[in-house]
Amino acid sequence: MEVRWGCFAGVFLVGLILGFAEISSGGITSSYVRNANLSLDMPLDSDVFRVPPGYNAPQQVHITQGDHEGKGVIVSWVTPDEPGSKTVLYWAENSEFKNSADGFILKYKYFNYTSGYIHHCTIKDLEFDTKYYYEVGIGNTTRQFWFITPPRPGPDVPYTFGLIGDLGQTHDSNRTVTHYELNPTKGQTLLFVGDLSYADDYPFHDNTRWDTWGRFIERSAAYQPWIWTAGNHELDFAPQIGERKPFKPYTHRYHVPYRASGSTSPLWHSIKRASAYIIALSSYSAYGKYTPQYKWLEKELPKVNRTETPWLIVLMHSPMYNSYVHHYMEGETMRVMYEPWFVEYKVDVVFAGHVHAYERSERISNIAYNIVNGLCTPIRDQSAPVYITIGDGGNLEGLVTGMTEPQPSYSAFREHSFGHGILDIKNKTHAHFGWHRNQDGYAVEADSLWLHNRYWNSFKASSVAAL
């Protein structure tokens, strides 16, 4: 009996030490075990890639916000055989009267590929908080969809955003979209943090995989806006095959209302939506001092009126804080440039992708370092955002598994499983974030936290000041 007790005490002691080690290392490295097989892209004849029936039927229909306030929608689609109609018919639910808006058509060539007719049409001056139906196509091959405009921007407007990154078009990608669609906390708008189709992983960047991806996401993106951030897989820079213009397929296919926020490039822009102000940045465009992106962001951040839109959210592709081995420190140079502003302007949360895994940081900053003072370690900072890496959409490159050890103290939770996130804004002070792993039931949150608004909370000023 005594021996048994001694053994138990020993195990208890080891457990205590291990427990302490985990606490002292800061965050949690999840022990969840999943299937580590590499994902394959769904075959071209998969039902999710089905071409809609009818001659020249509009396909790859998707929408995004079309102005700065949320009263506009950009409707985009592709017709394969001929230009067809440029017109979108739209009408409010319960309205007999059909409005129309005319768009324009683009086409591009990429190596030996020629795109279909890519249509973009901006619908303006819609009513807030209203369901609209819309119709694209002509003659017998029209297709109808619907969307709901957001409420007028305001401080206490509840709204839910989905978060997906690095999606690709594998069976795992399909599971991620399905889990997002079936999540009982219905996402009303999707924030996409870059790396869309992964067409560039194919020989000659086979752009037919941009088309299949457009057909795959239509079931969600035709009904709710997907807000775009460009990733490295959107670059499609391939001088060896004569393709020297970065972002060519992406910028032809996915339009954003960048001029409405004073941006000079579709690769960075901002929108207001309900109680959120969303800034999408480009990790793969110049962001150093004096560059167009830098100058835009410098003017943009002071413009945010937290009384109107309390939640300040930044999207980018390459994370500024990442404790996985893969892509380690790739976001460091942008962090050096922009992190002081994120702290100064009290950004609530920064979402990124790129790393094919999930990670959430503590509220930390690392802005005191000035090359001689030796202060090169992130510190707790109540003015700092939470950084969330959500690059676990499920593309053909698979998950990253290598983590830096021990887990840095700035890393609160990390796990390499596929999934999506939901940011559920309740009011001007509280929002709930949940991370949903694909293997779980639709309502299960594998990680979650309450976000307290950085502007509308009475916490102490930045701890950096005390240094």
Catalytic residues: 327
* Residue 290, C-beta contacts closer than 8 angstroms, at least 6 positions apart: none
Measured from the CB atom, the residue of 367 and 390 that comes closer to Fe ion is 390
Distance, first Cα to last Cα, the chain: 55
DSSP code for 42: P
Cβ proximity to Fe ion, 201 vs 344, nearer residue: 201
Q: How far is CA 193 from the centre of its chain?
A: 3
- Cβ atoms of 294 and 307 within 8 Å: the answer is no
| Complex with Fe ion: residue 116 or 419, whichever CB lies closer | 419
Buried b (16+ CB within 10 A) or exposed e, 175-212: bbbbbbbebeeebbbbbbbbbbbbbbeeeebbbebbbb
282 binding Fe ion? (CB under 5 A): no
Reduced DSSP (H G I as helix, E B as strand, rest coil) percent helix, strand, coil of the chain, to 5: 20, 30, 50
Q: At what angle do helices 171-182 and 208-221 cross, to 10 degrees?
A: 20
If one asks whether residue 326 binds Fe ion (CB under 5 A), the answer comes out as no
Smaller CB separation from Fe ion, 232 or 453: 232
Q: Which residues pair with 387 in a beta bridge?
A: 350
Among 215, 255, 269, 354, binds Fe ion (CB under 5 A): 354
Residue 458 CB neighbour total at 10 angstroms: 4
Of 272 and 414, nearer to Fe ion (C-beta) is 414
In the complex, what is the shortest distance from the CB of residue 16 to Fe ion, in angstroms, rounded to a whole number?
41
232 vs 265 by CB, closer to Fe ion: 232
Smallest gap from residue 397 Cβ to Fe ion (A): 9
> For the chain, give me the number of helices (H) and strands (E)?
6, 26
* Identity of residue 351: F
Candidate residues 67, 135, 172, 195; the one interacting with Fe ion per rule CB under 5 A: 195
Per-residue binder mask for Fe ion (CB under 5 A), 210-249, x = binder = ---------------------xx-----------------
Shortest approach of Fe ion to residue 390 CB, angstroms? 12
Minimum distance from residue 287 beta carbon to Fe ion (Å): 16
**Residue placing its CB nearer to Fe ion in the complex, 231 or 266:** 231
| Candidate segments 188-196, 198-206, 247-255, 362-370, binder of Fe ion by CB under 5 A | 188-196
Q: C-beta of 360: minimal distance to Fe ion in Å? A: 19
* SS3 state of residue 178: helix
Closest distance of CB 319 from Fe ion, Å: 10
Buried b or exposed e, range 40-71, using 16+ CB within 10 angstroms: ebbeeeeebbeeeeeebbbbbbbbbbbbbbbb
Please report how close the Cβ of residue 229 comes to Fe ion at its closest, in angstroms: 10
- Assess 172 for contact with Fe ion (CB under 5 A): no
**How many residues sit close enough to Fe ion to count as binding (CB under 5 A)?**
4
The pairing of beta strand 358-361 with beta strand 411-415: antiparallel
Closer to Fe ion by Cβ: residue 195 or 424? 195
Q: Work out whether 165 is an interface residue with Fe ion (CB under 5 A).
A: no
- The distance of closest approach from Cβ of residue 166 to Fe ion in the complex, given in angstroms and rounded to an integer, is 6
Q: How far apart are CA 448 and CA 413, in angstroms?
A: 10
Binding residues among 384-403 for Fe ion as defined by CB under 5 A? none
Measured CA distances, 229 to 255, 345, 353, 410 (Å):
11, 21, 10, 25
Beta-carbon contacts of 5 under 8 Å, excluding residues fewer than 6 positions away, are: none
Footprint of Fe ion (CB under 5 A): 195, 231-232, 354
